[in-house]
Structure 1
């Protein structure tokens, strides 16, 4: 048994890198006013709470939600599976809207629809992100002139500052970005902590930022400009009338040679604005973004100028820099087809680098951001330990030669602009016909334990070709630590990682790896269902001929992890565990 306390161990990070096939939101509503009968008083006033500013940055909203215990259990349990989010054709999925009573800063509303939100990275079985709809069950009702609220659980941001601070930076340079502040959230009397309250990207946002809400709005989750990749953009407005030909026009332009593309593309998309958007994503070190991960952004086709505009979203991975799933792609992200094409043309590459220098000189004020971080800490009760990684990103840590030395983002980018950093790796989504066939599956069982440095047990499964595998930790323990424990405190709740290394004697002691993740609230004796990426497992085959020495085989779909016992403190990695789950093999696995 080997224990680490400062994040995933080295090999675990390599295994996470194999998840480049994976990726961690929106809402809106009508602003129409109801016309109650002259004889029947409205159930509640049309606009609750008066004309206050619900996005006042100085406010910490007090949001109290009350719903039946059974509905709360239903809401928390709902989630996409880790396996299905890796499929080339995502299954249809909708969260259930459940009625609740909501009180915000003392103003109470009944019949509010509440549902869970999140794609994969923010999903939690105990601390769910939430969407509130005041208008759905009582037409025309708003709270301080908004019909919906989006409450992000900050699961990937214990600092509580990344999202609001990032959106402020985009707005500062004229990019349309959501408003943002904070809320203290309780459900049925249970304090869930501080959530980011983010403006939904819906028609009210479009009216505020573009002056018109009649254009086509798309949300991107692992989407890009290609004949097949554009299918991944989710239509959010004009669902019935929009034939998506505007997206196809951009994809067609991207298929041209560079000169022809740049004759056409500025007629479809605000290229200059995109370059500043891309530069700001780079400056923020936002790896799970458009240029970093082909993810977490909106496109709006504005009727005002007839052009597409990019809108940032899902900024909880800003102020990080290093890409955990695509190592080597930082700091000048271009894991997005438009960014990569423009970077390959000297004129536009220089425009991008000039934009970075301009942002650093005129819009990147570390002292002002430090003061904002301190203000948020006081407002929300966030600890110094929780903001340490953000401050290190902004200001750097230590001196060259010191243990833990880290350059500031300004130093890193100035070095990259000068050409003094290693060439960034680029990973683009493949633009191929998606495979929508049902994936191959296997039942995986395990019974393992680690006690006082002694690792033992076995995990068993069937390969797609029918071979049975029985991977023994007991045999592997003669050569390596066969159960490696670590905890990632950069997530909230923290996530415990159990890296199981086993060898199959029937295959000449061939090694396999099972990486189990368990959210902190689940790291107690009992049986826990798989849930998104928070509590789940990944299966790998060891192959020293490939980069990282492992090949991804399968992801957890359904099933349970039973913790018979767990240690605590210095012995937190002592565990007795049984697993019974269905795993889906990744496309191309033989």
Structure 2
């Protein structure tokens, strides 16, 4: 690895650098690229007879960026279509570009310019926001896992943005520029650079029945799969203990937790797909146990953080099933969820890193003409908030955690008012509980801790130490039983509440991120309603049909 190459790639993939790729080739050749159908057919995961697409040669390719690199043209550049299932598209195809495939003199020149000879351009037709891949890879980076650098590109063929004027293309020429898993990627993410790399596609797994279908990547030192066969046999013979000997199991557990937070339904744990596995050793021809140390690599994350999916610890992958079924390793996964939920998915990270990143991408994409961004990016932003909430629901709330209790319908947070209840008490000890929008700066009257109490949890305000109390004799004007914050009086379980996950299967580690706050005393649920206090603030009261809440 040269530091200069990695620095060049950092510049190439910087989020504020929009890359422009201008491809020139005979129109008939371009039509052959974009219209080619994968050998073996679409979504044929049992294909094992080599490459699905044909490399063709562009007459020239010009590459430049708003910041880097300077405009430079290369001749005789390799280009081929990619994707054979979900993102396959002939009007706006995903592309692989290899500047040195058909013209070896290009290789030192392009690597000196941008650090690599390879580009992977994803059409993002399954992600109308375009932000899920850069965001997801940033989250993998923050978690210390292998990750691609990623930004945006404009791509033209013969002067026309790819897809312009063709049906079903809403952002002609706009692509996600994701770093492919090639030598520079391996150098940056792993200690050893002379290992073997394999691709796991849907239905592939670490089993002898699928080994013939698992692809060997070209940068591998050997292509006979000897190390993979050994790992599969060892896994079958020794289960979870064997897995720890041939896999970096701690690394997999971090990845497993991240797939939970990202709702990565099309990854390894839930669909045995979109994953590479790298043997992070210097490969040998005849490997033993000491020559096998596989690590997982996430890929294909354009369908993460979907609102109609659950946060789930899936068990479709054999390794995931072994980990979740083992009490010690399952506890390790849940501890990793707790670490991530208060770390990279926590409020400080979201406010300081993730939300600013989303806003930066939204501004960039708006300038590129991508439509409906406020809605599409808003969906992703909401899923990030729910990810934190799901982490607390799955991993449990620590008594010291200060959290917002928020309503899905309004995004308001539960607040302790300064207004006493009742109003005419000379020395008040009880105060109205209302709801209001979250302020830009944190205010402790909006934050709560949830220590265990009796048959549930106590809901304690951070600012005052006042405790949420379910009244049976104080009602609002419309007749709803009130909640208020007071000094604490747990007579009849009045200060105890249950956090009940909604649309969830906690036993199977499946969560929506939402919950209902239920009084142990009354059986009624917290409702962010319109019943007003004397000063006109909307109350949080008790009702049979409570609000759909989340923690943030």
Q: Settle same-fold status: TM greater than 0.5.
A: yes
After TM superposition, list the pairs within 5 Å mapping 1:220-259 onto structure 2. 220-222=200-202, 223-237=204-218, 241-256=222-237
- The 1-side partners of 2:275 and 2:54 are apart by 24
Classify the secondary structure of the residue corresponding to 1:80: coil
Report the counterpart of residue 379 of structure 1 in structure 2: 364
- Scaled by the length of structure 1, the TM-score of the pair is 0.57
Q: CA deviation at 1:355?
A: 0.4
- The 1-side partners of 2:220 and 2:362 are apart by 41
- The 2-side partners of 1:194 and 1:424 are apart by 42
Report the counterpart of residue 380 of structure 2 in structure 1: 390
After TM superposition, list the pairs within 5 Å mapping 1:329-408 onto structure 2. 330-364=311-345, 365-367=349-351, 368-381=353-366, 382=370, 383-395=373-385, 408=386
Report the counterpart of residue 126 of structure 2 in structure 1: 156
Count of aligned pairs: 362
For the 8 Å contact 1:293–1:336, the answer to whether it is kept is yes
Report the counterpart of residue 75 of structure 1 in structure 2: 33
Report the counterpart of residue 135 of structure 2 in structure 1: 165
Report the counterpart of residue 316 of structure 1 in structure 2: 302
Bigger radius of gyration among the two: 2
CA 1:384–1:204: 2 relative to 1, 3 Å: same
Report the counterpart of residue 185 of structure 2 in structure 1: 205
For the 8 Å contact 1:149–1:198, the answer to whether it is kept is yes
Q: CA deviation at 1:413?
A: 3.5
- Scaled by the length of structure 2, the TM-score of the pair is 0.61
CA 1:172–1:203: 2 relative to 1, 3 Å: same
- The 2-side partners of 1:265 and 1:291 are apart by 15
Equivalent in 270, 283, 287 of residue 261 of structure 2: 283
State whether structure 2 residue 259 is matched by structure 1 residue 176: no
CA 1:111–1:288: 2 relative to 1, 3 Å: same
Classify the secondary structure of the residue corresponding to 2:206: coil
Report the counterpart of residue 566 of structure 1 in structure 2: none
Classify the secondary structure of the residue corresponding to 1:317: coil
For the 8 Å contact 1:322–1:331, the answer to whether it is kept is no
Classify the secondary structure of the residue corresponding to 1:310: strand
Report the counterpart of residue 56 of structure 1 in structure 2: 14
Classify the secondary structure of the residue corresponding to 1:314: coil
For the 8 Å contact 1:55–1:179, the answer to whether it is kept is yes
Q: CA deviation at 1:169?
A: 1.0
For the 8 Å contact 1:286–1:317, the answer to whether it is kept is yes
State whether structure 2 residue 96 is matched by structure 1 residue 131: yes
CA 1:425–1:81: 2 relative to 1, 3 Å: farther
Q: Deviations over 1:94-136 (max 9, x none)?
A: 3222222111122222211111111311111100111111112
- The 1-side partners of 2:307 and 2:293 are apart by 30
Q: CA deviation at 1:375?
A: 0.1
> Which structure exhibits the higher relative contact order, with contacts defined as CA atoms closer than 8 Å and separated by 6 or more residues?
1
Classify the secondary structure of the residue corresponding to 1:111: strand
Report the counterpart of residue 108 of structure 1 in structure 2: 73
- The 1-side partners of 2:234 and 2:311 are apart by 27
- The 2-side partners of 1:330 and 1:124 are apart by 29
Structure 1: which 5+ runs fail to align?
1-29, 32-46, 324-328, 396-407, 427-590
Classify the secondary structure of the residue corresponding to 1:363: coil
- The 2-side partners of 1:51 and 1:295 are apart by 27
After TM superposition, list the pairs within 5 Å mapping 1:523-562 onto structure 2. none
For the 8 Å contact 1:268–1:308, the answer to whether it is kept is yes
